[in-house]
């Protein structure tokens, strides 16, 4: 009975051990302890196929023709891919080459440019401040003591040259006009008398003494007219205009007309300052000396302070690139050095440099701070490339040259540089087409292909 029970347990253990290896080992150990061999009940489990049906001898199960060694990539078209990532029969590109079609280049926004010769312009960056051009700013002064009766221009108005901007009433002007008109009338009278005496003297009807006295009187009257005209000119008045006004009005020339004094702008521009109002007394001691300030801001100055050790590189006439970095988006314009001071500031040991900057839209405002790039060198080179086209691969500076299949890495030797580009000493010839914008994408693609080769 015990022998039968042991046989049942043994059969059960063998069945479980076929499925659980750990139990099988336990059973074999017990058989060994009973003196029986361990492989007495060894059971071999056939492999399970995909369709759970035994296959014919020499024929792999369904689907085994797609099973490859681990790690072998499979192409999308069903062909096996080699270790370098290219299909059998496909030509392996040279090292450093990147295959990329025109559509992919356009999709990645990789722009290209043709390499050629040119110039490298190096600049000295100096901070500066915008000021008005002193040759294009003028004041409208009150040259006489008087009272403002008209103000014809408001702040910001445009003004033409010699345009009347204000009117004063002045006693000094009335006296000067009256003196000139009286001198003119007396000179005409003395001229008439002199002409008559000269005719009589030519006929020897009058004495020489009378003739000479008449000539002296006429000469004196002429001098008085000249002196009165000079006085009008000093006041900014024209003797011709005064005489024309007297002829227009004749004997009705009144005191208000004599006192009228018109102020004119000596410069075409814009009113940037208005200092008085109607009824203000000007020209006297303690009174405002100016009525308006007119400025032509179509050209402005930029004042720079250049240190002594850099002053030798700055020359008059040099082009200057001006940048206003504080404006939204930045503003750029080109100017020119018009003056380099021969004197140094004893406190800062620097020299004053003036740059003339065109300002047609009046966007450059006096008082603003800017950065000026003064050109200090201009070198001609046979080949130069933009800085954006350069990448560093394996410690070498390279560019990516456009080919029929895509791009090719090209190591280059660089020389001089400026703000935007480098001179290429060797490795690249003029006429080649290289990638500029987004060239870092090509660098990444190159690393991926090299990693696949490894």
As a whole number of Å, the end-to-end CA separation of the chain is 71
Among all chains, which residue has been given the structure tokens 């300030």?
293
C-alpha Rg value of the chain to the nearest Å: 51
Of 377, 402, 426, the position where a domain reaches its end is: 377
Quote the pLDDT of residue 106. 82
Quote the pLDDT of residue 51. 42
Residue 332: beta bridge partners? 323
Quote the pLDDT of residue 43. 45
Q: Are 399 and 412 in contact (CB under 8 A)?
A: yes
80 within domain boundaries = no
Q: Are 279 and 148 in contact (CB under 8 A)?
A: yes
Q: Are 454 and 415 in contact (CB under 8 A)?
A: no
Residue 297: beta bridge partners? none
pLDDT digits (tens, 9 = 90+) for 263-304: 999 999 999 999 999 999 998 888 888 899 999 999 999 999
Give the CATH number of the domain where residue 243 resides: 1.10.287.470
With cut-offs at 50, 70 and 90, classify the pLDDT of residue 89. very low
284 within domain boundaries = yes
Range of the domain at 422: 95-117+379-449
Q: Do 355 and 407 sit in the same domain of this protein?
A: no
63 within domain boundaries = no
| pTM assigned to the model | 0.57
Q: Are 96 and 394 in contact (CB under 8 A)?
A: no
Displacement of CA 247 from its chain's centroid (Å): 60
Is the pLDDT at 49 greater than 80? The verdict is no
Displacement of CA 41 from its chain's centroid (Å): 91
Residue 340 neighbours by CB distance under 10 Å = 17
Of 264, 292, 320, the position where a domain reaches its end is: 292
242 within domain boundaries = yes
Of 275, 292, 309, the position where a domain reaches its end is: 292
Q: Are 319 and 92 in contact (CB under 8 A)?
A: no
Inter-CA distances, 134 with 130, 301, 308, 357, Å: 12, 8, 25, 13
Q: Do 310 and 323 sit in the same domain of this protein?
A: yes
Give the CATH number of the domain where residue 442 resides: 2.40.420.20
Domains of the chain: total: 3
Q: What's the mean per-residue pLDDT of the chain?
A: 78
For residue 351, report the phi and psi dihedrals to the nearest 5 degrees.
-115, 150
Q: Do 360 and 445 sit in the same domain of this protein?
A: no
Q: Do 320 and 361 sit in the same domain of this protein?
A: yes
Q: Are 308 and 354 in contact (CB under 8 A)?
A: no
Q: Do 322 and 392 sit in the same domain of this protein?
A: no
pLDDT (mean) for 8-34: 52
Quote the pLDDT of residue 92. 43
426 within domain boundaries = yes
Residue 216 to residue 48: CA distance in whole angstroms: 147
Residue 402: beta bridge partners? 407
Give the CATH number of the domain where residue 328 resides: 2.40.30.170
129 within domain boundaries = no
Closest CA to 165 of 256, 254, 278: 278
More confident residue, 379 or 80: 379
Closest CA to 133 of 306, 292, 359, 371: 359
Residue 110 to residue 402: CA distance in whole angstroms: 11
Residue 411: beta bridge partners? 398
pLDDT (mean) for 330-352: 91
Q: Do 288 and 150 sit in the same domain of this protein?
A: yes
Q: Are 302 and 357 in contact (CB under 8 A)?
A: yes
Is the pLDDT at 262 greater than 60? The verdict is yes
Q: Do 152 and 288 sit in the same domain of this protein?
A: yes
Residue 17 to residue 41: CA distance in whole angstroms: 10
Spell out the residues 6+ positions from residue 327 whose beta carbon is closer than 8 angstroms to its own.
Answer: none
pLDDT (mean) for 36-56: 44
Antiparallel, parallel or unpaired: β 319-324 and 331-344: antiparallel
Q: Are 301 and 132 in contact (CB under 8 A)?
A: yes
327 within domain boundaries = yes
17 within domain boundaries = no
Q: Do 272 and 313 sit in the same domain of this protein?
A: no
Among all chains, which residue has been given the structure tokens 């890495």?
409
Q: Which two tokens stand for residue 209?
A: 């003494």
Q: Are 399 and 434 in contact (CB under 8 A)?
A: yes
pLDDT digits (tens, 9 = 90+) for 139-179: 999 888 999 999 999 999 999 999 999 999 998 888 888 88
Q: Do 182 and 144 sit in the same domain of this protein?
A: yes
pLDDT digits (tens, 9 = 90+) for 101-145: 888 888 888 888 888 888 888 889 999 999 999 999 999 998 889
Quote the pLDDT of residue 352. 94
Q: Do 200 and 340 sit in the same domain of this protein?
A: no
Q: Do 283 and 155 sit in the same domain of this protein?
A: yes
Quote the pLDDT of residue 274. 93
Question: Which letter does DSSP use for residue 381 in this model?
Answer: E
Q: Do 230 and 353 sit in the same domain of this protein?
A: no
């Amino acid at each position: 009975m015990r022998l039968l029970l042991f046989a049942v347990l043994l059969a059960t253990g063998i069945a479980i051990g076929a499925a659980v290896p750990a139990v099988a080992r336990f059973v074999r150990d017990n058989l060994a302890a009973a003196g029986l061999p361990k492989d007495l009940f060894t059971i071999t489990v056939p492999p399970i196929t995909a369709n759970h049906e035994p296959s014919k001898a020499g024929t792999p199960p369904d689907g085994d023709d797609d099973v490859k060694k681990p790690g072998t990539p499979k192409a999308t078209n069903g062909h096996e891919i080699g270790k370098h990532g290219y299909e059998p029969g496909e030509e392996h590109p040279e090292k450093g080459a990147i295959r990329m079609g025109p559509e992919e280049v356009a999709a990645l926004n990789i722009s290209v440019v043709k390499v050629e010769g040119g110039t490298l312009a190096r600049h000295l960056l100096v901070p500066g401040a915008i000021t008005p051009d002193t040759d294009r700013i003028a004041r409208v002064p009150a040259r006489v003591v008087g009272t403002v009766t008209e103000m014809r221009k408001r702040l910001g108005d445009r003004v033409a040259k010699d345009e009347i901007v204000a009117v004063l009433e002045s006693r000094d002007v009335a006296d000067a006009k009256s003196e000139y008109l009286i001198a003119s009338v007396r000179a005409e009278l003395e001229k008439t008398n002199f002409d008559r005496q000269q005719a009589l003297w030519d006929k020897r009807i009058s004495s020489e003494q009378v003739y000479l006295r008449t000539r002296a009187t006429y000469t004196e009257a002429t001098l008085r007219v000249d002196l009165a005209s000079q006085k009008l000119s000093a006041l900014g008045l024209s003797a011709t205009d005064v005489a024309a006004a007297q002829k227009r009005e004749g004997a009705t020339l009144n005191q208000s007309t004599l006192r009228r004094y018109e102020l004119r702008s000596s410069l075409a521009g814009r009113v940037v300052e208005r200092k008085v109002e109607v009824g203000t007394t000007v020209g006297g001691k303690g009174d405002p000396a100016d009525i308006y300030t007119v400025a032509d801001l179509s050209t402005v100055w930029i004042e720079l302070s250049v240190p002594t050790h850099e002053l030798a590189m700055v020359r008059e006439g040099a082009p200057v690139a001006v940048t206003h970095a504080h404006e939204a988006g930045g503003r750029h314009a080109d100017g020119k050095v018009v003056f380099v001071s021969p004197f140094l500031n004893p406190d800062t040991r620097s020299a004053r440099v003036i740059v003339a900057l065109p300002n047609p839209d009046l966007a450059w405002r006096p008082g603003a701070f800017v950065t000026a790039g003064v050109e200090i060198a201009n070198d001609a080179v046979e080949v130069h490339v933009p800085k954006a086209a350069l990448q560093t691969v394996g410690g070498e500076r390279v560019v990516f040259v456009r080919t029929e299949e895509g791009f090719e890495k090209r190591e280059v030797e660089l020389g001089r540089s400026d703000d935007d580009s480098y001179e290429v000493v060797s490795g690249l010839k003029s006429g080649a087409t290289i990638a500029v914008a987004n060239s870092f994408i090509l660098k990444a693609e190159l690393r991926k292909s090299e990693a696949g080769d490894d």
